[in-house]
Structure 1
Amino acid sequence: MKIEPFALERWMSGYEMLVECDLSVGGITSLTMNDLLALEPAAQREQILDGLLGARLGYSEARGSLELRSAIAATYRNCGPENILVTTGAIEANFLLLNVLLNAGDSVVAPDPAYQQLASVPRAIGCDVALWKTRPENGFRYDLRELEQLVTPRTRLIVVNIPHNPTGAILLEEELRHVYALAESVGALVLCDETYRWLALEGSDPCAPPVFDLGPAGISVGTLSKTFGLPGLRIGWIVAPEPIVQACWAMRDYISLCPGTLSDALACIAFRHRERIMARNQAIIQQNLQIVQDWLQQQRGVFSWQPPRGGLLSMIHCNLAMPSLEFANRLAEEYKVMFVPGIKFGFEHYFRLGLGQRSAVFTEGLQRTSAFVAQLQASGVSSIA
């Protein structure tokens, strides 16, 4: 497979280990091993730790352990462990599904902007990709009428990402059911990247349920990376009818073979305490939401935004007449702050803002950004006409 460069990942890899304040972090600030083990009852921690230290570091069960698959399955309707394949993050889950479900010449609808994989992999397979766009003009919302125009009798797959990266758009349950019905009407499937599942903003409309819950044409993808704050475990999953799971498992034999033994065991602990982890995450998001709203009051005329409707990501507009890539490069190099440039998503003068950072780091990053803006204005950089 010949595939185009992953523009976002290439840019981020140049700075993410060098900056001190990441304002675009894609997930919730990471838990430590101590944080995770502290969720277990005190009387059992030593026994659990001894079990981890004594674990043989051999190959694990290729599909993921039965304990982990059962824990994941319990968060979906009419789902058993046979419907789950544990993968190396959501990125492997999507890669497997796109390669199993699609053939050259198929038509696919994919969101735009989005994590580039969701459109680039189908293009590399040889599919015709129609882009379902979220735009600043409509407040970064999914337009179902536009989707209706994109779906044709040749459509084999509709790809959705909710809550959406990078805009925070969501679909309500009735809207996702409409997407599902459109797919069924042409014999297509719906693949929903639900990386930000369980991250709901206070006062916002509830996001749609997992698409797998709607019926056999729905395939869900999830991960521990973003919503659990456990990206280092590299644990994701596919939720699909068993024949699709079996086909993805067969392809995975050529890629990563099986989850890491310790990652699987730690993922089981995380699922046992999912509600407590989500409560911790919601507190971080709500605190940072207030911090950025206060900061924006100070930045009137320079920055403005459409708050996310779900998840923890949104696009923030900058009114300075400097290309977003130049702004982001200089901010990273001179002030050690990462602010992903919107041009990587096709939006000039925008940046991706993530609400999952530790609040002290988040505040410091915004303050450094203010200092950079003041420097630019003093040097004569003007506002957009």
Structure 2
Amino acid sequence: MIAAPLPDFRLERYFSRWEFAATHHLTASDAETLTIRELLALGTDADRAEFDELGLGYTETWGGARLRAAIARTYSGCSPADVLVFAGAEEAIFWTMQLLAEPGRHVVVTVPNYQAMETIPRAAGADVSGVLLDAADGWRLDLDAVRAALRPDTAIVAVNFPNNPTGAVPDQQTWRALVELCTERGIRLVSDEVYRGIELDPAHTLPQAADLSPTAASINVMSKSYGLPGLRIGWVACRDHAVLERLERHKHYTSICSAGPSELLAAIALDAGAWIHERNRGIIAANLPLVEAFFARHADLFDWSQPDGGCVAFPRYRGAEGVEAFCRDLVEQAGVLLLPASIYASDLAAGPVDRFRIGLGRRDPAPALAAFEQFLTTRRPVR
């Protein structure tokens, strides 16, 4: 259990200042959302009637039967019994990473990452090592580096693909080799897969870890590729039921259960998942030429590469003042929000310090890009 104070969650601290104050949220990590009306329209008449008459009592801690069945259908080798629902992905990460790490055990995480993936097991008493994705080679996952980081007491290898913030996805051969490596060594693979499903190239869509390994834990959520963060529905899929039972007992101390309306709406969305993902891929595909043209016009200041998957990318800023000052001035002077590299800094491995995260999943980035461009031509001197 958590034994040490948790550090500030840098991303959430930054968002608490700017997410709703900035005019243009150009760093959003989720795809374009739907309204409740639009989402209900994807369901049946029976779904809409059920929503209208839904009682607002407690729900099952494991998640309702319909929701767990809908989640299980997104896997090829998992049943509803292999699914535990959480209040978003963060609760799932919170319990999974501390309970499976255990004090004194060793954990390997890829860097850059979602901060909780490394800070939670460290606060729980685990010894955590980082494996840096290779920025010079398209953020490649170096399997030899993972293998070299393993120890006899390694309990977990934790990864996030498509990666936040880089959008990187390993090739299929490397991914399957990672799963096999963990299985052979008796190490549990914890796979954050929240951006899976909106890859523009189907070859970049990886099999889910829980489908490939009987011990791996796949974490997913309605927030990112489905664009429904307001539902606060996430889950862990794992065929090791002892793990799920342990997680469920600890969930009693946090959310206990999910909101009934959210569970029903999430089930409707999952049943319409193919349509929602296709819609969101279309938004990303429409946005990419605009973003690429913007960075091409300013190639003296930025190095851009398209992400393999997900709806975020991590371009380089080449200006003399550095990316931290640049992002600060951009939001303060032009109201355009980006996330500087410091948000993704890690104590485990020294990643690039000249990058920023940009989002590609929201509709109509043109006004934000126009404000961005105006800033580049009229910005005041750096303080």
- By the TM > 0.5 criterion, same fold? yes
Counterpart residue type for residue 277 of structure 1 = I
Q: How far is 1:321 from its partner?
A: 1.2
* CA distance in structure 2 between the aligned counterparts of 1:332 and 1:357, rounded to whole angstroms: 18
Corresponding residue for residue 129 of structure 2 = 130
Show the 5 A alignment for 1:73-84: 73-84=72-83
Q: Does 1:291 align with 2:302?
A: no
Aligned match of 2:367 in 361, 364, 367?
Answer: 364
Counterpart residue type for residue 128 of structure 1 = D
* CA distance in structure 2 between the aligned counterparts of 1:380 and 1:24, rounded to whole angstroms: 22
* CA distance in structure 1 between the aligned counterparts of 2:311 and 2:120, rounded to whole angstroms: 25
Q: How far is 1:50 from its partner?
A: 3.8
* CA distance in structure 2 between the aligned counterparts of 1:171 and 1:215, rounded to whole angstroms: 17
Aligned match of 1:24 in 22, 27, 31?
Answer: 27
Counterpart residue type for residue 222 of structure 2 = L
Under a length normalisation based on structure 1, what TM-score does the superposition of the two structures give?
0.93
* CA distance in structure 1 between the aligned counterparts of 2:373 and 2:28, rounded to whole angstroms: 19
Contact 2:183–2:213 (Cα < 8 Å) also in 1: no
Contact 2:162–2:310 (Cα < 8 Å) also in 1: yes
Structure 1 vs Structure 2: percent identity of aligned residues?
Answer: 32
Under a length normalisation based on structure 2, what TM-score does the superposition of the two structures give?
0.93
Aligned match of 1:230 in 220, 228, 231?
Answer: 228
Q: How far is 1:336 from its partner?
A: 1.3
- Count of matched residue pairs: 373
Residues 380 and 239 (structure 1), Cα distance of their counterparts in 2 relative to 1, 3 Å cut: closer
* CA distance in structure 2 between the aligned counterparts of 1:268 and 1:335, rounded to whole angstroms: 40
Counterpart residue type for residue 225 of structure 1 = S
The runs of 4+ residues in structure 1 deviating greater than 6 Å are none
Corresponding residue for residue 349 of structure 2 = none
Q: How far is 1:174 from its partner?
A: 2.0
Corresponding residue for residue 355 of structure 1 = 360
Contact 1:24–1:338 (Cα < 8 Å) also in 2: yes
* CA distance in structure 2 between the aligned counterparts of 1:349 and 1:206, rounded to whole angstroms: 26
**Which blocks of at least 5 consecutive residues in structure 1 are unaligned?**
none
Q: Does 1:38 align with 2:41?
A: yes
Corresponding residue for residue 377 of structure 2 = 374
Aligned match of 2:10 in 7, 25, 39?
Answer: 7
Counterpart residue type for residue 354 of structure 1 = G
Counterpart residue type for residue 35 of structure 2 = T
Partner SS for 2:315: strand
Q: How far is 1:252 from its partner?
A: 0.1
* CA distance in structure 1 between the aligned counterparts of 2:181 and 2:47, rounded to whole angstroms: 48
**Which blocks of at least 5 consecutive residues in structure 2 are unaligned?**
346-351
For residues 211-245 of structure 1, give each alpha carbon's deviation from its aligned partner in whole angstroms, at most 9, with x where no partner exists. 01112121101100001110000000000121111
- Compare 133-142 and 221-230 and name the one that shifted more: 133-142
Counterpart residue type for residue 191 of structure 1 = V
* CA distance in structure 1 between the aligned counterparts of 2:136 and 2:367, rounded to whole angstroms: 31
